[in-house]
Amino acid sequence: MEFSAIQIAELLQGTVEGDSSASVSKLAKIQEGVEGSLTFLANPQYTSFIYSTGASIAIVGEDFNAEQDLPSTLTLVRVADPRAAFAQLLHIYGEMTKPAPGIHPSAVIDESATIGEGVHIGPNVNIGARSVIGTGTIVGAGCTVERDVVVGSSCLFHAGVMVLHSTIIGDHCTIHSGTVLGSDGFGFAPTDQNNYEKVPQIGNVILEDKVEIGSNCSIDRATLGSTIIRAGVKLDNLIQIAHNVEIGENTVIAAQTGIAGSTKLGKNCMIGGQVGIIGHIEIADEVKIAAQSGIGHSIPEKGTIVQGSPAFGIGDYKKSYVGFRNLPKLMRQISELEKKIKNIEKGPKA
């Protein structure tokens, strides 16, 4: 799919400087630009590359001033905000490349399921009894949507997503490959035979609107009630959310984080990668947790920033870390002082 410089400028409400008929059919980083590619310059750190890029069109700011000659093959599209404009183009491109509505002949759909208008259902998809797929939703190849699932409109399931029974998904949600929604919660009761008996997990998972979940995540259904992911939450790849967890609106969580059962996270939190959070605690709104931290207690104060395992206030953590790095030096000094004290206690030699 090709776009000309003038078409791009019209889409982005920008202006063309150079050949308005120059065309592109692919995207590239500015340092990797080749003929027929579109790039952008937003970070001044990369300005030097614009003088050597092989790209045909570059999106730049309205205030960009070339300090030397640009390549003769390069056309500029000037916009108010190059980064936002490029993101807008990516979104438009994504919309244009969506698969066409239709149901692949290899899909297996229960006769009691409801399929909305404009839905795309790919090869080898299985949709169970009484499930509902909303208008304009895309269900990629090999996905399974079990019985009594409700999926809203304009959702995107990448290939190989598993949505287990009774899950409820809002509008405009994106689920990436390998993710499982509604798997059993980790519930076992010890018995007098010194083993464990499984506790049935009869709840469900609820995703509100505009949630995005990365690949290979697992979100467990509740023991009773619901595991709830509120509107606007963004989860990275490889995340475990246990039964009855609730994650507040617009919270973002990086890869390899695990949250144990019945914990409640507030809205607008930011959780770094490889964070471990124990169960049955509450974390306030706007809390930030640094990567690899271990959270073993509730964080009641809004906007708190913590780090470490066990985690505590980031200011105290940084001060403590300075001491920790100096620990070998301090130990040597203590050892030397101990030797001096022993020599003093022995008294002067006869």
CA distance 243 to 254: 19
Q: Tell which residue, 145, 151, 59, has the closest CA to residue 108.
A: 145
- What are 68's two structure tokens? 């030397």
CA distance 284 to 102: 44
172 tagged catalytic: no
Q: Exactly one of 91, 158, 243, 297 is catalytic; which is it?
A: 243
DSSP conformation letters of 36-56? TEEEE---GGGGGGGGT---S
Whether the CB-CB separation of 179 and 213 falls below 8 Å is answered with yes
In sequence order, the β-bridge partners of residue 259 are: 241, 277
CA distance 293 to 318: 13
Q: Tell which residue, 302, 249, 294, has the closest CA to residue 274.
A: 294
**Calculated CA dihedral for residues 214, 218, 221, 222, nearest 10 degrees:** -100
Q: Which residues are catalytic?
A: 243
